[in-house]
Amino acid sequence: MTDTITITGVVGTEPASFQTSGGVPMVSFRLASSHRYLDRKTQEWVDSPANWYTVQAYRQLADNVRGSLHKGESVIVTGRLRVRTWTKEERSGIAVDVDADAIGHNLVLGVSRFTRVKTSVE
Amino acid sequence: MTDTITITGVVGTEPASFQTSGGVPMVSFRLASSHRYLDRKTQEWVDSPANWYTVQAYRQLADNVRGSLHKGESVIVTGRLRVRTWTKEERSGIAVDVDADAIGHNLVLGVSRFTRVKTSVE
Amino acid sequence: MTDTITITGVVGTEPASFQTSGGVPMVSFRLASSHRYLDRKTQEWVDSPANWYTVQAYRQLADNVRGSLHKGESVIVTGRLRVRTWTKEERSGIAVDVDADAIGHNLVLGVSRFTRVKTSVE
Amino acid sequence: MTDTITITGVVGTEPASFQTSGGVPMVSFRLASSHRYLDRKTQEWVDSPANWYTVQAYRQLADNVRGSLHKGESVIVTGRLRVRTWTKEERSGIAVDVDADAIGHNLVLGVSRFTRVKTSVE
């Protein structure tokens, strides 16, 4: 599938909750990711500069993210990338969003305890 | 990167711990994944048959998986796929493994509480 | 999206053409992929053992694959992985298929000349 | 692997050739991708707004892209995403680059004829 991406990174802002205009629960947070690579000149492993994304989740995933994730925690996010152009008064720019299909704490860096949430939708 | 894959699915067996011949901690469990798709004939959304994988993790990730995951829980796994041919006496077959880079509980289906693990390696 | 995968590899068999029972054009070929990795003991880059897949494509993509790809050529394939269990008389096994969304010659290893095909469907 | 992505899209600018400061051949072009999705309200399939990327390739892949790709052609690109912040005098913004591992014409939309290029490096 085009534009799908999986990112392992660090939650950079406390997740913020909203409702869409249609009343759908939504959550949003900033995510920073970097990777280690072998520098050909120095032959040493170094960290790349971080990529920053705005992660968005909806419905049950939004509710569970709000009850689970905090700034500074390590996570996996998989979803679809969206590169948007925005304009605001005389300024414009590019925003890099990920519409998340799934999000979880990354067990490379810690342990997690899971509690299933029952929903009427399932 | 070739052969990298991200899977959302259900842990199908209780994670089992081993040590490699070199003394590296390792964990292994079975993972089942399926996806919903629109059946063109009936115009209904149905679940595909499950794909089954053997997920393997090493070192700190192995330790944390053992202390976190249980059979029946929903997870995200990202890593590299390995399609191996095996032979055992007169029989042979194919095994489909994933060498995991990261694993986490899937917040689509529940909430998780994370505790960072301090390691001497970091 | 769960189970989606991108593979760079070598076409291992001449593509074979079929029709599904519903009359849809289909093509199938074997694909071998391997990757280079740094061996921690020897500190040398080596090739992994090959993963073998059966790639399947349908409709216009099937027609164009048949008119373009040949055994031994380097390609990129992106699609959805399917791990199937098969039984035939007293034997059974696992088959690893990729339902391709897109396929192309890999320009890392050569040049390609493209001719757009007009279809009534578009 | 974190931040890896596969994109199917249309070449938006004629590929431009450069040399890095270290004398490595490099090519760059703009890529637009969109996907079809089912609009829940209207129950119709529609195209998403396009994501725009700057694709960069190096060495042999750069040479072969220059000899193969043209504006308007459909391609598959797989590589690593890079979200950079740039500043130029008093202005700043975000650039979304893909460092390509592999690129090919997309056989969904046409046929391609491949010629292997012999290199001294292989």
Say how far apart CA A107 and CA B102 lie, in whole Å.
Answer: 7
Return the SS3 of B66: helix
Query: Which residues of chain B register pLDDT less than 70?
Result: 119-122
**For D5, nearest residue in chain C (alpha carbons):** C6
**For D43, nearest residue in chain B (alpha carbons):** B43
pLDDT of residue B122: 44
Residues B101, D1: C-beta atoms closer than 8 Å? yes
**For C100, nearest residue in chain D (alpha carbons):** D108
**Share of residues in chain D with pLDDT > 70 (%):** 97
Residues B93, C95: C-beta atoms closer than 8 Å? no
For residues C84 and C65, which has the higher predicted lDDT (pLDDT)?
C65
Residues C96, B84: C-beta atoms closer than 8 Å? no
Residue A122: band (very low, low, confident or very high) from pLDDT cuts 50, 70, 90:
very low
H/E segment holding residue A64: helix A59-66
* φ and ψ at residue D116, rounded to 5 degrees: -65, 140
How far is CA D103 from each of CA A13, A34, A81, C78, rounded to the nearest angstrom? 35, 23, 19, 12
Please provide the DSSP assignment of chain C as one string: -TTEEEEEEEE-S--EEEE-TTS-EEEEEEEEE--EEE-TTT--EEEPPPEEEEEEEEHHHHHHHHTT--TT-EEEEEEEEEEEEEEETTEEEEEEEEEEEEEEE-TTSEEEEEEE---S--
CA distance A79 to chain C (A): 7
Q: What is the mean pLDDT of residues A13-20?
A: 96
Chains that touch A (3 or more CB pairs under 8 A): B, C, D
Residue D38: band (very low, low, confident or very high) from pLDDT cuts 50, 70, 90:
confident
**For C38, nearest residue in chain A (alpha carbons):** A38
* φ and ψ at residue D90, rounded to 5 degrees: -95, 0
Please say if the pLDDT value at position A44 is more than 50. Answer: yes
List of chain C residues whose C-beta atoms are within 8 Å of the C-beta of residue D117: 109-111
Chain A residues within 8 A (CB-CB) of chain C?
A: 1-2, 4, 38, 78, 101
- What is the ipTM score, two decimals? 0.91
**For A101, nearest residue in chain C (alpha carbons):** C1
Closest-CA residue to B108 (of B73, B69, B62): B73
Q: How much is the pTM?
A: 0.92
Mean pLDDT of chain C: 91
Task: Find out whether C77 and C100 touch, Cβ atoms under 8 Å.
Answer: yes
Chain C residues within 8 A (CB-CB) of chain D?
A: 6, 8, 60-61, 64-65, 67-70, 73-76, 78, 101-117
Nearest to A8 among D2, D6, D82 (CB): D2
Please say if the pLDDT value at position D11 is more than 90. Answer: yes
CB pairs under 8 A between C and D: 120
Task: Find out whether C20 and C27 touch, Cβ atoms under 8 Å.
Answer: no
Residues A105, B112: C-beta atoms closer than 8 Å? yes
List of chain B residues whose C-beta atoms are within 8 Å of the C-beta of residue D4: 1, 4
List of chain A residues whose C-beta atoms are within 8 Å of the C-beta of residue D81: 5, 51, 81
